[in-house]
Amino acid sequence: MISKRRKRIGVLTGGGDCPGLNAVIRAIVKTAINIYDYEVMGFLDGYMGLVYNRFTKLSLEDVSGLLDKGGTILGTTDSFDPFNMMVDVNGEKQKKDMSRHIVDNLNMHNIEGLIVIGGINTISTAYKFTQLGIKIIAIPKNIDNDIPGTDSSFGFYSALNTATKALDKLHSTAESHHRVMILEVMGRRAGWVALQAGIAGGADIILIPEIPYDINSVIRKILDRKKSGKNFSIICVSEGCRPKNDAIEDAGEEKGALNTLSNSISAKIAGEIEAITDLETRVTILGYLQRGGDPSVYDRILTTRLGVEAVNMAAQGNYNKMAGITNNQLSPVDLSEVAYKCKNVPVEGELVKIARNMGVGFGD
């Protein structure tokens, strides 16, 4: 039996998984119970758990040992929109707005506030629920780092570790075989992963959505290196990058998935390099390896900070905001400033400049 006296908050994880989800759940539950004596209800598989009323009450025991475990004990759902859910109606697939179910379920459970851990899509959906009267605090999660209102979303630095180590590994093959090695990393519409992994992994060329590339410029850079005695090159490609003059097209969340392997942007680039130069060019698509595994040290601390802050915000009634970190300080930001937006790499920013200083080519 669930007590009626203690204040109750809900929590769910939405969108693609990434390292640190469990760590943030742990921080929320520990703070909520130890500091505020709240009850915490975890809804399963993102908003889907709220539609179908599938949940678990979270205890200190449930979150013990979760700090360094990848994945999410609550499960998650990608590309699920409760305002436009695909449902079977008399054997036919139809879109249906299930938001009312969710509002009703939250009320039924006497959830005072809901902590939503997710990326832009999950937070944008959360913003819509605030307009239905639901009190929400969001925590920015994704490996793409494209969420506005925070220095970095958790998961990003863990993915960066994976991408940088992959570049380290490709170096030896590139040098031994005098090849062009391309690594395609995630990032959707933003180039943060490619840019920072490229800097940290010593890439020679970095291609990001924010700086459309000219294949001739890319090839010129490779040939310049060859002339100066470096007969190999490493290219770090963001899945969302595109050539100049190309029709702009959003990279979907599932760019790394099955059906797009054949027409990946890096395969296209490799083909063009091999067609014009005589250099063997090989592609590696890092894919899901970027989402898995244990959170990095940075992300373990970041998730703990964000989880604590979210519960503090709930305790203060500071709702309808995202728990963000700006200039390394906690700084809640209105959901309206986050929803439906995208934080891109500033093309004249310091990081692009230092990469250029290091001799990196951006294909522009």
Residue type, 110: N
Q: What are the catalytic residues?
A: 144
Residue 230: count of CB within 10 angstroms of its CB: 14
Structure tokens at 162: 């994976």
Strands 233-238 and 205-207: parallel
Site string for a copy of itself, 319-358 (x = CB under 8 A): --------xxxx-------------------xx-xx--xx
> For a copy of itself, which is the closer residue by CB, 238 or 281?
281
> For a copy of itself, which is the closer residue by CB, 245 or 328?
328
Near a copy of itself in 56-85, by CB under 8 A:
65, 67-72, 75-78
Name the minimum Å distance from CB 74 to a copy of itself: 8
Near a copy of itself in 135-174, by CB under 8 A:
151, 157, 160-162, 164-166, 168-173
The dihedral formed by the CA atoms of 77, 83, 84 and 88, expressed in degrees to the nearest 10: 80
Near a copy of itself in 207-246, by CB under 8 A:
none
For residues 155 and 141, the answer to whether their CB atoms sit within 8 Å is: yes
Name the minimum Å distance from CB 133 to a copy of itself: 29
Strands 8-13 and 39-43: parallel
102 near a copy of itself, judged by CB under 8 A: no
What angle is formed at CA 135 by the lines to CA 189 and CA 20, rounded to 5 degrees? 50
Q: Which listed residue (40, 308, 323, 345) binds a copy of itself by CB under 8 A? A: 308
101 near a copy of itself, judged by CB under 8 A: no
Q: How many residues bind a copy of itself (CB under 8 A)?
A: 89
Near a copy of itself in 244-303, by CB under 8 A:
256-258, 261-264, 267, 270-271, 274, 280-285, 287-289, 291-293, 296-298, 300-301
> For a copy of itself, which is the closer residue by CB, 19 or 140?
19
Per CB under 8 A, the segment of 23-31, 88-96, 134-142, 336-344 that binds a copy of itself is 23-31
- Please give the Cα distance from 160 to 339 (Å, whole number): 24
Strands lying side by side in the sheet with 180-185: 205-207, 233-238, 180-185, 281-285
For residues 240 and 191, the answer to whether their CB atoms sit within 8 Å is: yes
Q: 3-state DSSP: the chain helix, strand, coil percent, rounded to 5?
A: 40, 20, 40
